[in-house]
Amino acid sequence: MMNIANLESAMNEIAPPSLAEEWDNVGLLIGGRTASLRRVLLCIDFTPAVLAETITKKVQAVVAYHPPIFKPLAKVTAQATPVVHQAIRAGLAVYSPHTALDAVPGGTHDALADVLGLADTTPLEPSADVGTGLCKVVVFVQPDNLSAVAEAAWAAGGGRVGGYDRCSFQTRGLGTFRGLAGTNPTVGVSGLDERTEEIRLEFIAPRASLPAVLSAVRQAHSYEEPAIDVMPLLAHGAHNADETPAPRCGQGRVGRLVSPATVDALVRRIKRRLGVSRVAVARSVGSARTAKVARAAVGAGSFGSKFRAALSAGATFFLTGEMRHYDALAAAQQGMTCVWVGHSNSERIVLPVLRDRLLCALPKLDVLLSQTDRDPMTIE
């Protein structure tokens, strides 16, 4: 049977928390890892309507793109934080990927780039962390303690590889040690050289889950001082520590249009693909609506302030979620056409992509898209 730890592990692989912006709050925000899981609901905003939907559809977890908890909460009450309070009372787990899902290849920004038909895309702001977000954990245990330590690691989110869980490699060997004054060794006595049979247990764990995994391993371990090694894994395609993988992770995307199109044609495409009837457009005075666009940039959510990075990358068209007045004015004066569609309207397109990835990682999980989640603002 699946549990919340399986969902957390899968999400940590899909959108490694190490790729999130420093100010963000991503990961498992509400709920316990050992709770059983059969059905999950995906949404952008965890609203009262979405909460009611979870009850109707009998889900055990929500993946809410925007974190329902951004800053430390002074109170968790029905009045101060009603949705969080009710989620806790209902035993509902909530995971938020936010900017980690934006940064990862195939994530939010790439989904938005697909709307325009961009190819050969690169991030406007490459991530400093281009690793996998995974680590290898190695721990040495006595044979009769192996099961307890392994089970603790699995429950905390370790041992997951793709669509498999409880994955490990185990080898037998001989451990040596000598306890110094004041120690109380599990095997032998302090002050003497000891030799004992041990098993080397190796498994993969997401970096975001490391604190929970290491804590669980130490609590289950029979030794006073367990020997634990943690080794960060290189990104796919890197063969040694001196070989840095291509910076495909990061915020925003810029690339060429597979088929150059006019501004008007792109606006129609945006409306159709995002399911919106109106968009805001800023263009320079006298610019031709029939001018062809060959290179464009995108940035989901509140990414309008990054238009200068798009200009520097050669883009003449910029699609984003929202944009400030003076940024739009400055961009238009420099010959760029900017289109903004509403904050969450630029992000919701990633949810079907996320559903497919979760189903690939957890084939037995029932993954639903929220029917009540929508942008809070409309243009009448």
For residues 342 and 226, what is the distance between their CA atoms, to the nearest angstrom?
52
CATH of 134-232, one of 3.40.50.720, 3.30.70.120, 3.40.50.1360, 3.40.50.300: 3.30.70.120
Q: Write the CB contacts of 139 (distance below 8 Å, at least 6 apart in sequence).
A: 149, 153, 200, 201, 217, 221, 226, 227, 228, 229
The CATH code for residues 4-97+348-369 is 3.40.1390.30
Residue 361's Cβ-side half-sphere holds a number of Cα atoms within 13 Å equal to 23
Q: Can you give the pLDDT at residue 180?
A: 81
pLDDT at 376: 87
Asked whether the domain spanning 109-128+251-340 has the same topology as the one spanning 4-97+348-369, the reply is: yes
Q: Nearest Cα to 361, choosing from 108, 13, 61?
A: 13
Give the pLDDT confidence score for residue 295 in this predicted structure: 96
Give the number of other Cβ atoms within 10 Å of residue 314's Cβ. 13
Domain boundaries, the chain: 4-97+348-369, 109-128+251-340, 134-232
Question: Could you give the CA distance from residue 125 to residue 251 in angstroms, rounded to a whole number?
Answer: 5
Comparing C-alpha atoms, which of 52, 60, 56, 108 is closest to residue 83? 52
Cα–Cα distance, 293 to 310 (Å, whole number) = 14
Residue 246's pLDDT is 41
DSSP single-letter state for residue 158: -
How big is the CA angle at 96 (ends 128 and 6), to the nearest 5 degrees?
A: 100
CB 126 within 8 A of CB 249: yes
The burial class, CB within 10 Å (0-12 / 13-18 / 19+), for 276 is middle
Closest by CA to 201, choosing from 278, 275, 266, 146, is 146
Q: 153-171: string of b/e by CB count within 10 Å (b at 16+)?
A: bbbbbbbbeeeebeebeee
Low-confidence ranges of the chain (pLDDT < 50): 130, 236-247
User: Tokens at residue 236, please?
Assistant: 């796919």
pLDDT tens profile 262-303:
999 999 999 999 999 999 999 877 666 778 899 999 999 999
In terms of DSSP bridges, do strands 27-30 and 93-96 run parallel, antiparallel, or are they unpaired? antiparallel
Output Rg (C-alpha) for the chain, integer angstroms: 24
Predicted local confidence at residue 288, as pLDDT: 65
Contacts (Cβ under 8 Å, ≥6 apart) of 238: 244, 245
Residue pair 333/322 in contact by the 8 Å Cβ criterion = no
Distance CA 38, CA 4 (A): 9
Gap between the Cα atoms of 34 and 44, Å rounded: 25
CATH entry, 109-128+251-340, from 3.40.1390.30, 3.90.1150.10, 3.40.190.10, 3.40.630.10 = 3.40.1390.30
